[in-house]
Amino acid sequence: MTEDQRGAALLRGAVSSPRASFLELFFDLVFVFALTRVSQRIIDDVASPGRDVWSEVAQTLLLFLALWLVWTLTAWVTSRYEPERGIIQFVVVATMFGSMVMAVALPRAFAERALTFACAYLAVQIGRPLLITVALRRHPRRTVTVRILAWLTLGAVPWLAGALVPQQALRAVFWTVAVAWDYTGLALGWPVPRLGPTRVSGWAVMGEHLAERYQQIFLIALGETILIIGFTFSMSEFSAARFGAFALSFLVTALFWRIYFHRAGHLLAEAIRVARSPGLLGESASWTHLVIVAGVLLTAVGYELVIDHPFARMESTWAVFVMGGPTLFLAARARFEYEIFGRVSRSRLAGVLVLAALAPLALRMSPMVALASAAAVLAAIAVSDAARSWGRPAERPASPL
């Protein structure tokens, strides 16, 4: 077997299973824990008096974006390369361990664990394309991983500089530059001199596999909210008010699931399969799911606040999570609908506008009433979806992408 043939053996072929492998599902378990650390970090910041909450939330956003980039690039790797090959399995398991280290370091990543977080991130992001480049040997596709490797290696400079400076403010500046650099590379295709860019929108991908991975990360985010709801209620003193908040939080999570999977969520795999540019739709869906998951995580923070303080006076910061999380989710879900069908239902647009209008009014409500208002809007959208599809044939995907 020639070197080109050995490299080609790593690529997904026609006989590859389009379903996510058990190894990938195992990999996702780390992100159940990691997303819980993200939410808990924000919860601790909101609950701690005297802290600059929005500065802390901005820091947590940077850490979440780093985790998301690790997950999404791994999803694209397993969609392009055969996950049953030993080297790809090693890459996934090594990424899993690095992600676990990042999650463990995350609560104190802007303090004494900064270097641990940065080194774990860089080991994953640089080690993955390096190993695949070596494994591809002389196969033409190795130029893709060479671009990624060169771009992320240069991006290691601000990551390490931020980890080594003692001031948190400077660390935030360096890491903001680092995250911006890494996401710019993803958006532009990691352009390097002479080789140029390689946009993921042009990659050949396994559509059903990539769609399943996006669906699974959304379910992981919902699983994280279930953990928050359960842990918060079990650790608090039982009362009728807290049980009501517990039940209401569960209802909102169930409505998230219902609204996401109604039509568009089920048809993502087919939409990618029939799209004229599957990679373009896959890339767009990646950005959309980033915002969807962020909305779910923000709402999870609101759940803990509502369960712990169901009828307390609403703080201005609390309203951002209780009302802002569902608003962000619904806005991203509207974009997701456009990606699949080329249109957005009026109920979703109306829901976003109503939630945005209710946000300033939430300061006059108790946390319980504010969450109930958000649940009512989401329930109305779910009912509208059911009524609109009742007795009608299933709509086919017609992505404008």
Q: pLDDT per residue over 313-333, tens digit each?
A: 888 889 999 999 999 999 999
Nearest to 43 by CA among 249, 325, 300: 300
The yes-or-no verdict on residue 196 having pLDDT over 90 is no
The yes-or-no verdict on residue 1 having pLDDT over 60 is no
Average pLDDT of span 223-240: 93
The average confidence (pLDDT) of the chain is 89
Model confidence pLDDT, tens digit, residues 53-97: 888 899 999 999 999 999 999 998 888 888 888 899 999 999 999
313 neighbors 350 (Cβ within 8 angstroms) = no
> Which secondary-structure segment (H or E) carries 106?
none
**How far is it, in rounded angstroms, from Cα 231 to Cα 386?**
32
Q: Which residue has the higher pLDDT, 116 or 236?
A: 116
- What angle is formed at CA 215 by the lines to CA 145 and CA 147, rounded to 5 degrees? 10
**pLDDT computed for residue 338 by the predictor:** 92
**pLDDT computed for residue 200 by the predictor:** 64
Centre a 10 Å sphere on the Cβ of residue 149 and count the other Cβ atoms it contains. Answer: 22
**How far is it, in rounded angstroms, from Cα 48 to Cα 135?**
49
341 neighbors 398 (Cβ within 8 angstroms) = yes
Give me the residue label for tokens 């030993």: 86
Question: What does residue 81 show for φ and ψ, rounded to 5 degrees?
Answer: -115, 150
What pairs with residue 81 in β-bridges? 11
The pair of structure tokens assigned to 176 is: 């903001």
Provide the terminal-to-terminal Cα distance of the chain, rounded to the nearest Å: 40
**pLDDT computed for residue 350 by the predictor:** 95
**pLDDT computed for residue 16 by the predictor:** 65
**pLDDT computed for residue 351 by the predictor:** 94
399 neighbors 281 (Cβ within 8 angstroms) = yes
pTM tops 0.95: no
Question: Which of 181-195, 250-264, 348-362, 365-379 is predicted with the least confidence, judged by mean pLDDT?
Answer: 181-195
**pLDDT computed for residue 101 by the predictor:** 97
Q: Which residue has the higher pLDDT, 274 or 359?
A: 359
Q: Give 111's DSSP letter.
A: T
Q: Which residue has the higher pLDDT, 12 or 5?
A: 12
Model confidence pLDDT, tens digit, residues 146-193: 999 999 999 999 999 999 999 999 999 999 999 999 999 998 888 888
Model confidence pLDDT, tens digit, residues 233-267: 999 889 999 999 999 999 999 999 999 998 887 88
Domains and CATH numbers, the chain: 3-198 (no CATH), 207-389 (1.20.1410)
Question: What does residue 196 show for φ and ψ, rounded to 5 degrees?
Answer: 75, -165
Give me the residue label for tokens 């991006």: 155
